[in-house]
Structure 1
Amino acid sequence: MDEVARKQLRDFLAGFAGLAHTSGKLAKLE
């Protein structure tokens, strides 16, 4: 696995985790 692909995967997972965290906060507010 090359460096660029690894970085993209890490950024993708970080964004996904942030999205899930935000969704969880929004669900609690409702």
Structure 2
Amino acid sequence: MLKSKFPSPLSTVDISFFEIIYIFSYQDIL
């Protein structure tokens, strides 16, 4: 999903960035 939205060179950085956001947002929900 993310790879289709972002260029290949930035995919790894964007994925790691979104993983951090996802973790923090998930903790906020809990």
Fold conserved between structures, TM > 0.5 = yes
Structure 1, unaligned stretches of length 5 or more?
1-5
What is the aligned length? 23
Identity of aligned residues (%): 0
TM-score between both structures, scaled by the size of structure 2: 0.61
Name 2:25's counterpart in structure 1: 25
Structure 2, unaligned stretches of length 5 or more?
1-7
Across the aligned residues of Structure 1 and Structure 2, the Cα RMSD in angstroms comes to 1.5
Q: Max radius of gyration: which structure?
A: 1
Q: Which of structure 1's runs of 4+ aligned residues deviate more than 2 A?
A: none
